[in-house]
């Protein structure tokens, strides 16, 4: 197996693995093509594979927390943006008064999108919010 650190920076040392979510190679993403309308929003979204590769590199560099964040980001690539934004809003202290709503959101992300690490983070937030009495209306 290749040492992940040897692939950094990916855009220079592993160009074949630097693709957008639509599979477009990074070197094909040009301002000229964006202005001409040849590049769509899906063409500039990062792929889960690219995020997982960045996570491998971060972990190999001893940056485990960064690696975990990148792995969670990879899980979120397939989650619709409206669900991500709703979840973000739900996680703000005082926005949800019933912990079961956050638990249900974690289960939905786990079940429907395979976002196990994101769901685990939400489950952890539920425990912390309960301990700190943050499930109360603040505004």
pLDDT digits (tens, 9 = 90+) for 74-86: 999 999 999 999 9
Domain stop point among 77, 102, 131: 77
Residues 6+ positions from 32 with CB-CB distance below 8 Å? none
Instruction: Give the structural domain span for 51.
Output: 1-77
Shared domain check, 66 and 8: yes
pLDDT score of 59: 97
**Helices 116-131 and 81-91 meet at what angle, rounded to 10?**
20
Domain stop point among 52, 77, 102: 77
Whether pLDDT at 117 is above 90: yes
Q: How far is Cα of residue 23 from the mean position of the Cα atoms in its chain?
A: 18
Other beta carbons less than 10 A from residue 20's beta carbon? 19
Shared domain check, 48 and 90: no
Task: Give pLDDT tens digits for 29-57.
Answer: 888 998 999 998 888 899 999 999 999 99
Q: Are 102 and 93 in contact (CB under 8 A)?
A: no
pLDDT score of 12: 84
Mean pLDDT, rounded, of the chain: 92
Q: Which has more confidence, 94 or 77?
A: 77
Shared domain check, 18 and 49: yes
Q: How far is Cα of residue 39 from the mean position of the Cα atoms in its chain?
A: 22
Shared domain check, 47 and 6: yes
Global pTM reads 0.86
Whether pLDDT at 138 is above 80: no
Q: Which residues pair with 118 in a beta bridge?
A: none
Q: Residue 94: give its domain's CATH number.
A: 1.10.1510.20
């Amino acid at each position: 197996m290749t040492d992940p650190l040897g692939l950094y920076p990916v855009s220079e040392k592993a160009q074949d693995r630097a693709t957008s979510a639509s599979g477009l190679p990074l070197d094909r993403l040009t301002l000229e093509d964006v202005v001409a309308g040849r590049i769509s929003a899906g063409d500039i979204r990062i792929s889960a594979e690219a995020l997982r590769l960045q996570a491998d590199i971060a972990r190999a560099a001893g940056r485990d927390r960064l690696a975990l964040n990148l792995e969670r980001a990879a899980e979120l690539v397939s989650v619709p943006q409206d669900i991500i934004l709703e979840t973000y809003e739900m996680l703000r202290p005082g926005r949800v008064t019933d912990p079961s709503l956050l638990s249900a959101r974690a289960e939905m992300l786990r079940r429907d999108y395979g976002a196990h690490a994101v769901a685990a983070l939400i489950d952890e937030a539920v425990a912390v919010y309960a301990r700190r009495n943050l499930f109360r209306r603040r505004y």
